[in-house]
Amino acid sequence: MKYISHYYKKLKVKSIKIAILAVIVSIFFLPSYVSFEHTGNNMFTISLDGVIVGVVNTPEEADKYLREARKQIAGSSQELVLADSDIEAVGSEVLWGKIDPKEQVISNMALVLRENVHETLNRSYVVKINEFMVNLSSKNEVQILLQAALDKYDSEGAGTYKAELLLDPTRELPVLTAHVISDEEAKQQEQVQEAVSMNAGIDAEIATVFENVEPDIEKDFEDYELGLISMDFGDSIEVVEAYLSEEELTGLNEAIELVTKDQETNEVYEVVSGDTLSGISLKTDIPMDKLIEMNDTLEDENSMIRVGDELIIMVPRPELTVVRQEEMYYEEDYEAEIIYVDNDEWYTTDRKTLQEPSAGHRKVVAVVTFENDTKVDQEIIKEEVTYEAVPKIVERGTKIPPTYIKPISGGRLSSSFGRRNAPTKGASTYHKGIDWATPTGTAVVASSGGVVAKAGWGSGYGYVVYINHPDGRQTRYGHLSKVLVSAGQTVSQGQKIALSGNTGVSTGPHVHFEILVGGTQVNPLKYLN
């Protein structure tokens, strides 16, 4: 009995040893525990934005879990989610310790990130038209926007011409450009591709092209289909992908209005032969006062303009220009081109009509080019004249006419041309020239070259000089103190002819200057260079 008791006692001790050994083995071999090694920190408590999210083996493992958590909150959408994530790892060296499962740590991290989401960036498309930009939420919206610009001018009905986006092969980064293709062109491309795939050779493609070539024969007016024949965008368009916040996106309807609605735009108008300010006002549909206000070079409706001058005009046009061509039939009265007969003895200001014109009549088919709603070009492709126009024949001079300069240096404009109030006693209420106040003895020069017609006393003018010029005009210089030329003398432009003074009916030292055209005084300021 004593032997049995001793045996059981030894068996119990052995069982306890085996149990202790099993616990030690499980500690070192189960994956959720960290083995003890004297290598420094071997277990890390991870906090995200101050919230403990789990215990892991290494900080690198925590970074990997954070990336997984970000993917989890982003989901399968194409949006870019931005969330604050201040991660912190606190290490410790332990004999053994439990680490948290990967899935649990990632789930805890995702929970913290969702609470700290501060912005979601949407996958978007930036449309750049010249310097104008608008942001849309999808590629489909971009195509709808561009199609709306085309449909505004599609006289055949929406959908005849379609906008398409193609990758620009010349750019290093992915940039889309806009192109326009007609239904007919799209069908032809499909036919070519179909023929090539069926016949597996270039011969099929060539045959298809030749089938669509019209024979070169003379058409009658009824043979023309007329209407819209081409459309394209007239501005540079670039489309790039970007990630933008909701606030940065523009609604589709608003974008369409911004791009297609006419905006007031400054443009340059170059003056051409035959232009007048009133004509330019009518041509550009800009009121005269507005035209003068926009151009510092214009003082009033009588301001002089020359061929080649550039004027600022306000033109209504949308952000995106659409260029289209239409084949049009019309009948019209037309004018024949003017026939000019040059006369080398006349000045370019001299003209004489030798034959009066008479309008003709014709039937026309023309290809007319429009930029938006503005006609910019026309090419007549068929014309039938009902009766011929009679051209206008004009004889014109080729000699450059003389120019006119201010007859003194400096001086103050003291009296303008035209009606004046309370003139000096004995003087006319209508001033037939202009006056410059200047000290007595100031040099007076010939405004233009010519022959002196009169030099001496001229009653109310005091001492005067009259000069006849080759273009038939005459200049007069009055109230002089001394005359330096005589009648019949030829003088050149800028030659000194007298000294200023205060003679005749005068209120003070000045020079009175006149220009006569056809024997009548005109405003000299309109003729001086």
The per-residue pLDDT of the chain, averaged, comes to: 84
Lowest mean pLDDT among 127-141, 288-302, 481-495, 499-513: 288-302
**Distance separating alpha carbons of residues 150 and 279, to the nearest angstrom:** 33
Lowest mean pLDDT among 250-259, 269-278, 335-344, 480-489: 269-278
**Distance separating alpha carbons of residues 75 and 113, to the nearest angstrom:** 13
Residue 311: band (very low, low, confident or very high) from pLDDT cuts 50, 70, 90: very high
The string of DSSP codes covering 129-193 is: ETTEEEEES-HHHHHHHHHHHHHTT-TT-TTSEEEEEEE-TT-SS--EEEEEEEHHHHHHHHHHH
pLDDT tens by residue, 220-238: 888 898 989 999 999 999 9
Residue 300: band (very low, low, confident or very high) from pLDDT cuts 50, 70, 90: confident
| Whether pLDDT at 408 is above 90 | yes
Q: Calculate the CA dihedral of residues 150, 123, 132, 128 and round it to 10 degrees.
A: -70
Q: According to the model, what pLDDT value does residue 316 have?
A: 82
**Distance separating alpha carbons of residues 315 and 265, to the nearest angstrom:** 5
| Whether pLDDT at 2 is above 50 | no
The model's pTM: 0.51
CB 479 within 8 A of CB 499: no
pLDDT tens by residue, 355-375: 999 999 999 999 999 999 888
Q: According to the model, what pLDDT value does residue 117 have?
A: 65
Q: According to the model, what pLDDT value does residue 466 have?
A: 98
Q: According to the model, what pLDDT value does residue 3 have?
A: 45
| Whether pLDDT at 270 is above 80 | yes
CB 467 within 8 A of CB 450: yes
Share of the chain above pLDDT 90, in %: 49
Measured CA to CA in angstroms, residue 26 lies from 35, 36, 41, 98, 425 at distances of 10, 13, 21, 12, 131
Looking at residue 36, the DSSP 8-state letter turns out to be: P
What are the residues facing 243 on neighbouring strands? 123
Burial class (CB in 10 A: 0-12, 13-18, 19+), 353: exposed
Q: According to the model, what pLDDT value does residue 112 have?
A: 86
| Whether pLDDT at 498 is above 70 | yes
Q: According to the model, what pLDDT value does residue 113 have?
A: 83
